[in-house]
């Protein structure tokens, strides 16, 4: 039997059908669960997969990173082929690499990029081939107001008002070092980069930037929302379908 080695795996998934990343007992529709069952099948023993973070139900990823200790004689390429053969077609593994013993997908992650995709067209036209990965708005947001609001949101703050978990006991201080808003035709894409994010934080930040985009709040009110440390002060949680984990930095 081969000795256990630590493997780093990078994968993309269409989160539409899933209850998020995290394994849930008795629910086989999680990304981690799917991955663990194929790896367990491959090695003949139970495998635990450590993800860089947890994505919510319905959230997508283009480059989620995870690691697992595997005892196998298969090469990196053969592991990848095995995974891609037995995983459902909405989860795909783009890289498998032997990693240092100490590599830990969550603890060693130093940054993450998320992208939230929005769309608005007066004519009601939607991008049919992307419709499951973009949130189509009924009202036109003012992107320059959103950009102004984003400047107030950027930086290190206590993001308690932007935390979806009301029972969060640990620190809610996070550093969102950049928020970049790009437009391309009818699409509006918001890129968030930070060392880490709270539960639902990106979706609540997006919902709140849209409040500024709709002139329901001023960009300056972002400061008050941050200070309030109260979830009720921030905007609504944007739907999961528009969110995608783009990159994890190590």
How does DSSP assign the chain, residue by residue? -PPEEEEEEEEEE-GGGSS-SS-BTTB--SHHHHHHHHHHHHHTS----EESS-PPTT-EEEEEEEEEEEE-S--HHHHHHHHHHHS-TTEEEEEEEE--TT--TTTT--EEEEEEEEE--TT----GGGTTSSEEPSS---HHHHHHHHHHH-EEEE-GGG-S-TT--S--EEEE-EEEEEEETTEEEEEEEES---TTHHHHHHHHHHHHHTTSS-TTHHHHHHHHT-GGGS-PPPPGGGEEEEEEE-
In the complex, what is the shortest distance from the CB of residue 241 to its own copies, in angstroms, rounded to a whole number? 12
The reply to whether 122 sits near its own copies by the rule CB under 8 A is: yes
- 138 or 167: CB nearest its own copies: 138
The reply to whether 185 sits near its own copies by the rule CB under 8 A is: no
- 35 or 226: CB nearest its own copies: 35
Site for its own copies in 5-44 (CB under 8 A): 12-14
The reply to whether 1 sits near its own copies by the rule CB under 8 A is: no
- Active-site residue, selected from the candidate residues 14, 28, 48, 56: 56
Among 37, 42, 54, 84, binds its own copies (CB under 8 A): 84
Determine whether 224 is an active site residue: no
Among 1, 25, 73, 77, binds its own copies (CB under 8 A): 77
Residues that bind its own copies (CB under 8 A): 12-14, 60, 62, 77, 80-81, 83-85, 89-94, 122-131, 133
Positions marked catalytic: 56
């Amino acid at each position: 039997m081969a000795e256990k080695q630590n493997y780093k795996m990078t994968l993309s998934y269409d989160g539409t059908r899933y209850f998020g990343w995290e394994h849930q007992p008795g629910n086989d529709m999680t990304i981690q669960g799917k991955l663990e069952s194929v790896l367990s099948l491959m090695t003949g023993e139970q495998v635990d997969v450590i993800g860089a973070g947890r994505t919510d139900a319905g959230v997508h990823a283009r480059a989620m990173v995870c690691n697992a200790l595997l005892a196998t004689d298969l090469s990196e390429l053969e592991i990848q082929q095995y995974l891609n053969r037995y995983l459902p077609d909405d989860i795909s593994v783009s890289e498998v690499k032997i990693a240092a013993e100490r590599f830990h997908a969550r603890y060693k992650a130093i940054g993450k990029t998320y992208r939230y995709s929005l769309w608005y067209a007066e004519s009601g036209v939607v991008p049919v081939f992307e419709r499951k990965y973009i949130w189509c708005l009924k009202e036109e947001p003012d992107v320059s107001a959103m950009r102004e609001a984003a400047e107030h949101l950027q930086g290190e703050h206590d993001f308690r008002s932007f935390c979806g978990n009301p029972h969060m006991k640990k620190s809610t201080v996070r550093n969102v070092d950049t928020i970049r808003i790009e437009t391309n035709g009818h699409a509006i894409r918001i890129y968030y980069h930070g060392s880490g994010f709270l539960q639902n934080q990106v979706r609540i930040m997006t919902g709140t930037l849209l409040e500024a985009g709709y002139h329901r709040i001023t960009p300056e009110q972002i400061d008050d929302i941050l200070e309030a440390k109260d979830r009720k002060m921030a905007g609504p949680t944007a739907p999961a379908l528009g969110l995608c984990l783009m990159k994890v930095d190590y």
